[in-house]
Chains A and B, each alone.
Chain A
Amino acid sequence: MESTLAAPDQSQSSESPIVKAVGLERIYGEGQAEVRALDGVDVEFEEGRFTSIMGPSGSGKSTLMHILAGLDKPTAGIVEIEGTDITHLDDGDLTQLRRDKLGFVFQFFNLLPVLTAEENILLPLSIARKKPDQEWVDQVIDRVGLSDRRDHRPSELSGGQQQRVAVARALVTKPAVLFADEPTGNLDSKASEDVLTLLRGAVDEVGQTVIMVTHEPDAAAHGDRLIALRDGKLVHDAPPVSADNVIELLKTLA
């Protein structure tokens, strides 16, 4: 089935990165209570790669991801997605950007309880009033292994299944970048493995770009690249070798 996918060729790595951040700073509060959640981060993400972001609690991972995804504005610095500066877009343009280019997977699956699995998956398309490409939809649902669960409500699905629905929902629009904040944070190891395999598969088979925040060395090991933050600064950037290797890294950071 993979062969039918019209995927961007992974090897044909493009010149310019798909996401690019320069001099990112994010300061919360003022004076005494000032917190530098991000303190000068420069980072680039190339197309078709799976990047994991790690770091101790409070190091600024979520903050970085929010800003990269245009959910929050940096105090200083800029973010470009496919060459467009998104830090100065207004709400309307950001909405359009989300429809066309971004996908999200959350720690709390954030499915609508009133919709069936399939309807949840199709939600971004119906929001954008786009006609679903049925073939692609079927493939995505098949890929996440929910073909026989299409008409189930979230309350009738396990946590792992719910998260797979969420992944399918993020993939269905073929976003330029898929952001995931601790997507396995609420799942057991088997369900986590399923979700991570899915994300990995999307990268390998359709050239999806994935940026994932995680706490779990096992999860990070699925990525092509591991970056780590500490006190709002980028302190590590290299391909992960193995989970053990990641644990070692985390120890040095802590």
Chain B
Amino acid sequence: MLSLTFKNLWARKWRSLMTAVAVIFGIALVAGTYVLTDTTNQAFDQIFNDSLAGTDVVVTAKSEVDQQDGSTPSFSAKVLKEVKGVDGVKQAAGSIFTQGAILDKDADSVGGGFAPQFIASTGPKIFDAVTYPEGHKPTGPHEATLDQAAADRAGLGIGDTIQLIGSGRAVPFKLVGITQLGGSSFGGTSIAAVQLPVAQALTDKRGQFDQISVAADSGVSPEELRDRIAKVVPKELRVETAQENADRNASEIKDSLQFLTIALLAFAAIALFVGSFVIFNVFSITVAQRTREFGMLRTLGASRRQILRTVLIEGLIIGLVGAILGIVVGFGLAAGLSAVLKAVGAELPANSLQLLPRTIIVSLIIGVGVTVVSSLIPAFRSTRVPPIAALAENLVVGGKNRVVIRTVIAVLLAALGLILIATALISGKDGGSGAAQIGGGAVCVLIAISIFAPKLVTPAARILGAPIEKLGGLTGRLARENAQRNPSRTAVTAAALMIGLALIAFVTIFASGLSSSVNKVIDDQLPGEITLQGTGGILPFPAGAIPVVQNVDGVEAASGVRFVSAKVDGKTAAISSVDPADIVKVYTVEWKEGSDSDLTGLKDGQLVIGDKLADDLGVGVGDSVTLTSQKGRKFKFKVSSIMKTDSISLAGEGIISQNSMARDFNQKSDAVGLVKLDPGADLDKTQTLIEDTLKAKDFPTVDVLNQGELKDQQKSQINGLLAMIYVLLALAVVVSLVGIVVTLILSIYERTRELGMLRAVGMSRRQVRRMVRYEAVITAVIGAVSGLIVGVVFAFLIGIPLSGDGFELSYPIGTLIVILILTALAGVIAAIYPARKAAKLDVLEAVSYE
């Protein structure tokens, strides 16, 4: 029996392979994701290990509150002396490693997209982890080195001038060395190194270190030295062995990459979910077509269990083949994904692609699991074929659907989904958890719709097929009848497409809602005309730029906003500080309790708190709260007033004075600048003037954007993300199109006789092709229309709780129509092969076919 299964599979190898395609894509994404993240993680492990060559113990400052840019606090250089005094220390040196900007002499960034740029200090030879393929270490205060990849990217070589920005103005340096760290690539990250005092000055960390590296005397273990040093340094410092430090850094990066893994796996799950519909359909059709064969096997004494087993083993083998091919494709996909990430400016470091056993095992389990589970229902249906089916002359293929059970399951699922959605809406849960609950409800409803779908196919085909019938006459009519004749088959095929399109419609609507919400925030909160930010919103905003802008002709007010992440009574929140003099000219606060005078008169030690945070903490005006800084210091603040905060509040969840920010949180750099022009000043001219003035004063990394450009920039970021999501959802759509192809081919095979008859009575090959094509289009359009409807409805439902967060939906009708048309075209493409196959049938053979 087992060999029979293999032979059957082999005889239907094309069908089986196409079925396997249903899992190949999903598995490829699973495997690709793992390969990509494993490769990245491995690269980071190596980078951190390489960079600590020669180092035994590392001293850094603890970070009590994680900052958005991932920076850690620096600490007093005095600690070095104490460290050097510890018994067993052979050598110790402080160093700087701080985010900044690296530019060529024309002030163009050397950087790769969104990846950060760092300014580092050089130190004693013993701690030098880098090699110099060209040039040498900086030997004077005007010399710098650059990592090989960045130099290659920017086309820089020894002797060229580069400009570095730590905090403040750009400073020119002569490039004297190209560095390489082990064999690792940093991805898009760039690192420039200068002498220690230079680095301290550049980054405004005079008398400070980001890190102290320690080498141990021989015979002293890193662990022992660590413990000794820990005894003499202040409590807020962390002392680790080099290994511990490398592991911690690597694992922090891994944690932050986790979201990428989860997001990619979510798309893999979608593709597999769609694939399971295709598999289900192929197995259902195959089982129906093999009714007589199963009946015959039963008359020969095959038990139900044997029949079940043959079908399940087929599923298992198809799943296995799909998973293996998926792993192979996934390996290539990982390379492709990292190319895509590089293209959108998020290049990840990579050495050689990592294929861990875990990747293979997980892929195999999922691939086989999904296929076998999807074939379960058809497999059980095959066991219900009675032996007498072998003798039946006219086989009713398809068999009885368990209408009652199906309806009950569908109703229960739909009810569950609706309850989930409704309770989320009624309980007024807003933000993430509400949306998650509604999303879960949506999945239930989606499956329920798929179960109900056969009932909807007939009316849907009638409505959507009407224009085609008009267009195509008899062939159109037959196409529609064919689409309708096996409603559950068409329904499952269309449902697979529906899922992908529902998601596409959903994210399209959401992204457009996000764009318009951002625009609204810009309109509502920024009364000024111009916004200043670090280049691309990626490079840090230089200190000292705001006063320069203030003095430009035509500028009425320019005000910087600084940010820090702090704990407010234990709850992490983004806190901003503003310049009280001008802030109300450039930033509009909606007050809950208080007025603009609370902002202009903001004193040190006072906090303007966001309403949401105030509610969470249960504090009101006059209460006092404790703010914890990154270094773990605690400060008392008095709530002076309460502002309304939308989901995107440009002032974070609290505002403190500029002084408090500098003194208590050591934040002296602005994150953005807001500018209001003199009434009557010409926008274009003033904007150009600001740009030129900033360049002239060595602030080349400031983007000067008017409101329109700011909106466009935000929109293009959202659209970049959207494009990436489209690409990933396209996988699911391709899987469902493969579903259309397979289903059509199987249906044609089933209708061989009928097609022969049609040809015998005079239908031309062209007409046959057209008939098949129309059927594909009808199926695709049913899927597309239902998908778009489902997507719109869900976007609407999920938008309700989010509207409390200032999110408003907008419906990009044009885009949705384009999607609909593209799907219909995809249907035509899906029909190419089946149509040709149908048209090629030999009339005589088709008629005499048994």
Contact = CB atoms under 8 A, between A and B. Distances in A.
Interface in B246-305: 292-293, 296-304
B221 interface: no
B652 to A, nearest CB: 69
A95 B386 contact: no
A114 B386 contact: no
Given A71-B387, A114-B10, A126 B1 contact: yes
Contact of A106 (B11, B296, B304, B850): B296
Contacts of A124: 300-301
Interface in B388-429: 388, 390-391
Nearest to A99: B301
Interface in A1-38: none
Determine chain B's interface SS by DSSP, over half rule: helix
A98 B306 contact: no
Interface in B566-602: none
A95 B387 CA distance: 9
B8 interface: yes
Contact of B303 (A95, A110, A115): A95
B697 interface: no
B386 A71 contact: yes
B668 to A, nearest CB: 78
A98 B4 contact: no
Contact of A114 (B4, B300, B391): B4
Contacts of A126: 1, 3-4
A104 B390 contact: yes
Interface residues of A, number: 31
Contacts of B390: 104, 106, 110
A183 to B, nearest CB: 12
Nearest to A127: B302
Interface in B332-391: 386-388, 390-391
A62 B300 CA distance: 18
Contacts of A136: none
A95 B8 contact: no
Interface in A57-106: 62, 66, 69, 71-72, 91-92, 94-96, 98-100, 102, 104, 106
B309 to A, nearest CB: 11
B485 interface: no
Contact of B299 (A91, A92, A98, A107): A98
A181 B391 contact: yes
B299 A104 contact: yes
A115 B296 CA distance: 14
Contacts of A98: 298-301, 387
Contact of B300 (A69, A94, A115, A123): A123
A215 interface: no
A27 to B, nearest CB: 17
Interface in B831-850: 850
A155 B7 CA distance: 15
A103 B629 CA distance: 87
Contact of B301 (A91, A113, A127): A127
Contacts of B292: 108, 110
B160 to A, nearest CB: 71
B4 A128 contact: no
B299 A115 contact: no
A169 B299 CA distance: 12
B302 to A, nearest CB: 5
A114 B8 contact: yes
Nearest to A166: B296
Contacts of B1: 126-127
Contacts of A169: 300
B301 A95 contact: yes
A152 B381 CA distance: 32
A138 to B, nearest CB: 20
Interface in B497-548: none
Contacts of B8: 112, 114
Interface in B296-341: 296-304, 306
Contact of B304 (A95, A99, A108): A95
A113 B11 contact: yes
A114 B11 contact: yes
A173 B296 CA distance: 15
B289 to A, nearest CB: 12
Interface in B1-19: 1, 3-4, 7-8, 10-11
Q: Sorted from nearest, which 9 A-B pairs have the closest CB atoms? A: A99-B301, A71-B388, A114-B11, A114-B7, A124-B300, A98-B301, A110-B296, A95-B303, A127-B302
Given A62-B391, A108-B292, A110-B390, 15 more contacts: A69-B299, A71-B299, A71-B387, A71-B388, A71-B391, A95-B302, A95-B303, A98-B298, A107-B391, A110-B296, A114-B8, A127-B300, A127-B301, A127-B302, A169-B300
Interface of A: 62, 66, 69, 71-72, 91-92, 94-96, 98-100, 102, 104, 106-108, 110, 112-115, 123-124, 126-128, 169, 173, 181
24 contacts: A66-B391, A69-B299, A71-B299, A71-B388, A72-B388, A91-B303, A91-B304, A95-B298, A95-B302, A98-B300, A100-B301, A102-B301, A104-B300, A104-B390, A106-B391, A107-B391, A110-B293, A112-B4, A113-B11, A123-B300, A126-B1, A126-B4, A127-B301, A173-B301
